[in-house]
Amino acid sequence: MNQFTNLEPMSDKPDKPEKIQVKTPKMRCSGCGSKVGRSVLENVLNRIQSETREDVIIGLKDAEDAAVIRVPPEQVMVQTVDYFRALLDDPFIFGKITANHCLSDLFAMGATPQSALAIVTLPYAISTKQEETLFHLLSGVKEVLNSASALLIGGHTTEGEELALGLTCNGFAEADKLLRKSGMKPNQALILTKAIGTGTLFAADMQLKAKGRWIETAIESMLLSNQQAADCFKQHQITACTDITGFGLIGHLLEMIQASDVAVQLNLDAIPILNGAKETSQQRIFSSLYPENHHFSKSIQNQQQASQHPLYPLLFDPQTSGGLLASVPLELANSCLNHLKGLGYIESSIIGQVKPETAGKLPITLKF
C-alpha cells in the first residue's frame, strides 16, 4: 500500500538528461497520457510501409483523425471487433493469430475483408523496446490482412502492464448473400474445419504442464486462415455458419440452434481434438472461461451419460482463432469435406447432423 500512498511527482526534468530515454516513472498516467509516443509510432509506420488502394480514401499513410473508406454500390458493410491479451511471447506470431481470429467473423458472415483498425496495448518499456514490439506486432497483422486482400488503415496505441491487441475489421457483402446463424435446416450435416482445444492447452502452458509440440500444433492451427474454408462452403450450398471462439463448440452451436429452431445430434468421437488437449483436460486444466461455458451443458439432452466421455469437457473449451462450423446438405457433405482437406484443413470433420426441433426436449444430443 505504501507504493500507492507515498508517490513521487512525475517530472520532465530528470537529474541526468542523458538517461531520459531509459527513465521509467513509478507512476504512469492514464487517459490520453497513456498513449505511446509519437516518435515510436512514426518510426513503426515508416518501417511497415503502408499500402494504398482506391477504396481507401484516407488510410494509414495519412495523419488524419479517422480513416475513410468507400463502400461499393449495392453492397453492405460488415464490421466486427475482437481484442485480447497476448497468449505467447512472440509479438509477430501473436499479431498473425489475432488477425486470423478477427477476420474469421467476416468469413463466417460471407463477407470479403476490406480493411482493419488496430488497438494495441504495449507493455511499459523504453521507446526503442516499444518500437520493436509494435513493429513486429503490426508486421504480423499486416501479413495476414494483406493475404486476405485487406489493408490496415489506422488504429490507436496505449501503454499497459502487458501486451494486448484488437482489430476492428471491415468487410463488404451483398445483403441477400449474407450468411447467418439462423439458416440451419433438418437433414443437414455439420462440418467443423479445425480441431478444438486451444483453451486447455494454453492454460496448461501457463502452468508449465504442456509439451512444446502440443503448443506448436495449436499455434499452427491458429495461424490457419478460415478464408478458403468459407469459399469452399459457399460452393457446397452452405445455409448457416459461425466461427468457434470464446464460447466453445457447444456455446456457438447453441446460438445457431436457437436462431434456427432446430435440434442437433453431435458425434463426440468425430470432433477433431488438438494434440495434448485430451491429456490436459483429463488433468482438469481448464481456461478461466471454462466454468462459465460449462453452463451450456443444460441444453444437452443426455448430459449425465455423455459427461463420462473423456472428450466431453472439450465441448466447453474456449477457442482462439478456431474453425468455422457450417451446415450443408447431407448429399454434399462428403464432397465438401474432401474439398476442405484438399485445401489444407486436414482436421476438418463431419461432426453431426441437424434434426427437427422436438417440443419439450433439449436441443442437443451427444452420440458416442
Position 3 scores a pLDDT of: 64
Long-range contacts, stretch 63-67, CB < 8 angstroms, 24+ apart: 66/154, 67/115, 67/117, 67/153, 67/154
| Residue 56 pLDDT greater than 80, yes or no | yes
What is the chain's percent helix, strand, coil content, to nearest 5? 40, 25, 35
Residue 7 phi, psi dihedral angles, 5° rounding: -95, 140
| Residue 255 pLDDT greater than 90, yes or no | yes
| Mean pLDDT value across residues 70-97 | 96
Worst-scoring range by mean pLDDT, 24-38, 158-172, 206-220, 223-237? 24-38
Q: What's the distance, CA 341 to chain centroid?
A: 22
- What is the C-alpha to C-alpha distance for residues 259 and 277, in angstroms, rounded to an integer? 30
| Mean pLDDT value across residues 280-292 | 97
| Residue 260 pLDDT greater than 70, yes or no | yes
| Residue 270 pLDDT greater than 50, yes or no | yes
| Residue 15 pLDDT greater than 50, yes or no | no
| Residue 107 pLDDT greater than 60, yes or no | yes
- What is the C-alpha to C-alpha distance for residues 57 and 50, in angstroms, rounded to an integer? 13
| Mean pLDDT value across residues 158-166 | 96
| Mean pLDDT value across residues 219-242 | 97
| Residue 34 pLDDT greater than 80, yes or no | no
- Name the nearest CA neighbour of 158 among 48, 90, 58, 83: 83
Position 85 scores a pLDDT of: 95
| Mean pLDDT value across residues 218-227 | 98
| Mean pLDDT value across residues 94-108 | 98
Helices and strands (H, E) in the chain, number of each type = 12, 12
What's the pLDDT band for 28 if we cut at 50, 70, 90? confident
| Mean pLDDT value across residues 223-246 | 97
Which tens digit of pLDDT belongs to each residue from 69-82? 999 999 999 999 99
Q: What's the distance, CA 319 to chain centroid?
A: 8
Mean pLDDT of the chain: 92
Position 19 scores a pLDDT of: 41
- Cα torsion 28, 33, 39, 45: sign: positive
- What is the C-alpha to C-alpha distance for residues 311 and 209, in angstroms, rounded to an integer? 19
| Residue 203 pLDDT greater than 80, yes or no | yes
| Residue 310 pLDDT greater than 90, yes or no | yes
Cell 457450417, residue?
A: 326
| Residue 126 pLDDT greater than 70, yes or no | yes
On whether the CB atoms of residues 191 and 348 are closer than 8 A, the answer is: yes
Worst-scoring range by mean pLDDT, 40-44, 94-98, 112-116, 230-234? 40-44
What's the pLDDT band for 38 if we cut at 50, 70, 90? confident
Position 35 scores a pLDDT of: 77
- What is the C-alpha to C-alpha distance for residues 354 and 363, in angstroms, rounded to an integer? 10
Residue 141 has which C-alpha cell? 497483422
Position 26 scores a pLDDT of: 63
- To the query of whether residue 32 is one of the catalytic residues in this protein, the response is yes
Position 223 scores a pLDDT of: 98
What's the pLDDT band for 18 if we cut at 50, 70, 90? very low
- What is the C-alpha to C-alpha distance for residues 216 and 341, in angstroms, rounded to an integer? 20
| Mean pLDDT value across residues 331-353 | 98
Q: Which of 29, 32, 102, 232 is catalytic?
A: 32
> SS3 for 155?
strand
Q: Percent of the chain having pLDDT more than 90?
A: 83
| Residue 330 pLDDT greater than 90, yes or no | yes
What's the pLDDT band for 4 if we cut at 50, 70, 90? low
Q: Label the pairing between strands 112-123 and 151-160.
A: parallel
Residue 186 has which C-alpha cell? 433438418
Worst-scoring range by mean pLDDT, 12-16, 146-150, 343-347? 12-16
The strand pairing partners of 79, in sequence order, are 170
